[in-house]
Amino acid sequence: INNLKNLFLIPILLLVVFSCSPEEETQAPTNTVQTTTPEPVVTQYTLTVTASEGGSVTDGGTFDDGTEVTITATANEFYTFSGWEGNDSNENSIRIQINSDLEITANFESTLELYSEFTDISEANVSSKGPFAIWWDKRYSIEYENLILEMLLKSRNKIINELGFLDPVNIENGKLINIYLHQTGTPDIFDQYNWNASMRGGTYGPYVTMPYGIYLDQFYDAGTGTLLHENFHIYQSRYFSNIANGNDWAWYIETTAQWFELFYNNYEESFVEVGSLTNIPHVALWHKTYRGSQGNGTINDPQTWTYEVHQYALHAFLLYLTEIKGVNPNIITRAFLINSGYTPQEYYFNEIPEFRAYFADWAAANTSNLNYLTREQVERSNTELQQYGGDDIGFNDYSIEVDGNNANGTFSPSVNLKPRSWAYNVVKVNNSANKSFNISFNGEENGSEGANSFFEIRIVKKAGENNYTTTNFEIENGLTGNKTVTLNENEDEFYIVVVSVPEYFSGNQNYNYSISISE
């Protein structure tokens, strides 16, 4: 009975298992609606942060509503933070919550007083930056006041950080350094002072006067020339007492200011007045024309452009020392910074072991058509000499000229052309191609006022335009020597450069010599 019962149950279980129809298996599920919560909308605001002249601020930007932001104002040198425009806090660092567009300005004030002995803001415009203020007549407009101020700041940075100078005393006295731009030939509030381009001493420190025309021309030429020169005088002025020794130091004040123009511009600017170097090579390194309170020439020196600008032209010598001979630029200006008791020329002699040789090499380079300058710079120099040199052009280039076809003889310079201390002569020998010459040099033992003589000699051979070679002429004890000079077929002239470099650094005594030439 039980087995029958089990057999009876099997069909029933099968029925249960297979009771679902295909239609029921493929029926689609009931559709349901899916919903998502939208992202909340975040409002953003812009924070604009600016700074007045004299400082900087951290950046602004775009921020979510409610964001807290810290902004900080930092004053530049010679300025102090004076407060915020757009916020009541007087702290230089503030934390603000952003809940609207905000514009905030950090304000700064100069720590130096604006002051003038000659005008005020009722009749003159003034623009200042850092320690400098420039003034000009309100009747005129200038285009480059910001460029002037930026240039002055950049040059100050170079003078202080690279050359080691301190600021002029204006800063210690709490005053801005004044630069006066004045018109020439037209009505101007500064007419009564008869100013030219110069640095002058004021009640609280030095100031600069600059004819507007000079300044304008310089900047149209993308240079900075005269203004840079006078600005360097401002920094020199603190140290004048370190180098003042008679009148034989004045050349150094002017030529270092000229040199700084080139140093500032990485020696890319044209050289000026250099033509006078080859025109009057016999005058002393420290020559300043015999005129004015600082003149140190002789009473017989002509008062001409060539003699007048010699002190300025010597920036070419300082360039030669630094760029060709590798003398550290700090050595050039360190004479201002130390109270050595020496004139600048004696300082160089003690500071630069090869100074004699370098000076003689420079004389040979000048004789080689200024071969350390670009041809464009030489052309500029020649043009300037033609314009201003007048009757001086070429009149002293060569102390002696010898015809190589009849060279046998002994030669000495005329009394007016004998080289002075730290100066040189050029003896020119023409018609010398394919010839050999025996040269004997004999220097007198003492100068015209008793100083011990010392000479260096260089031989310069010319082979075509701007093709020169230089060789040394060994001199025993700085007084005597012999050398044979042989020229090739393309070398039609050569020069004997006689360089007077005694251990004597003042005055205008001269040093005589003789040269014997034989074929």
pLDDT in tens, 458-479: 999 999 888 999 999 999 999 9
Tokens of 152: 């002055």
pLDDT at 254 over 70: yes
Spatial distance between the Cα atoms of 86 and 105, rounded to a whole number of angstroms: 7
| pLDDT of 44 | 93
Provide the pLDDT for residue 442.
98
Backbone φ and ψ for 393, nearest 5 degrees, come out as -60, 120
Q: In the predicted model, what is the mean pLDDT of residues 130-143?
A: 91
> Looking at the predicted structure, is the pLDDT value of residue 7 above 70?
no
Tens of pLDDT along 95-125?
A: 999 999 999 999 999 999 999 999 999 999 9
Asked whether the beta carbons of 177 and 199 are under 8 A apart, the reply is: no
Query: So what's the pLDDT on residue 83?
Result: 94
Per-residue DSSP letters for 368-417? TTSTTS-HHHHHHHHHHHHHH-GGGTTTTS-SEEEEGGG--EEE---TTT
Q: What is the pLDDT of residues 185-239, one digit of tens each?
A: 778 999 899 898 899 999 999 999 988 765 544 444 434 678 889 999 999 999 9
Q: Contact, 205 vs 175, CB < 8 A?
A: yes
Among candidate residues 222, 211, 228, the one with its CA nearest the CA of residue 142? 211
Mean pLDDT (the chain) is: 88
pLDDT in tens, 20-65: 444 444 454 555 556 667 777 789 999 999 999 999 999 999 999 9
Side-by-side strand order, sheet with 409-411 = 409-411, 513-518, 436-443, 480-486
d(CA 269, CA 277): 18
**Residue 459 near residue 496, CB atoms below 8 Å:** yes
Examine the pLDDT at 6 and tell me if it is beyond 70: no
Separation between Cα atoms, residue 256 and residue 259, nearest integer Å? 5
Q: In sequence order, which residues have a C-beta less than 8 Å from that of residue 8 and are 6 or more positions away?
A: none
pLDDT, position 32: 56
Is residue 269 within 8 A of residue 290, CB to CB? The reply is no
User: Exposed, middle or buried: residue 285 (CB in 10 Å: 0-12, 13-18, 19+)?
Assistant: buried
Q: Compute the average pLDDT of residues 79-91.
A: 92
Q: Please name the residues in contact with 35: beta carbons below 8 A apart, sequence gap of 6 or more.
A: none
pLDDT given for residue 272 in this prediction: 77
- What confidence tens digit (pLDDT) does each residue in 481-512 have? 999 999 999 999 999 999 999 999 999 999 99
Query: In this structure, are strands 132-137 and 177-182 parallel, antiparallel, or unpaired?
Result: parallel
pLDDT at 13 > cutoff 70? no
Q: What is the mean pLDDT of residues 380-399?
A: 79
Percent of the chain with pLDDT over 90: 67
How many CA atoms are closer than 13 Å to the CA of 255, on its beta-carbon side?
28
Distance CA 377, CA 270 (A): 5
142 close to 210: Cβ distance less than 8 angstroms: no
Whole-model pTM above 0.75?
yes
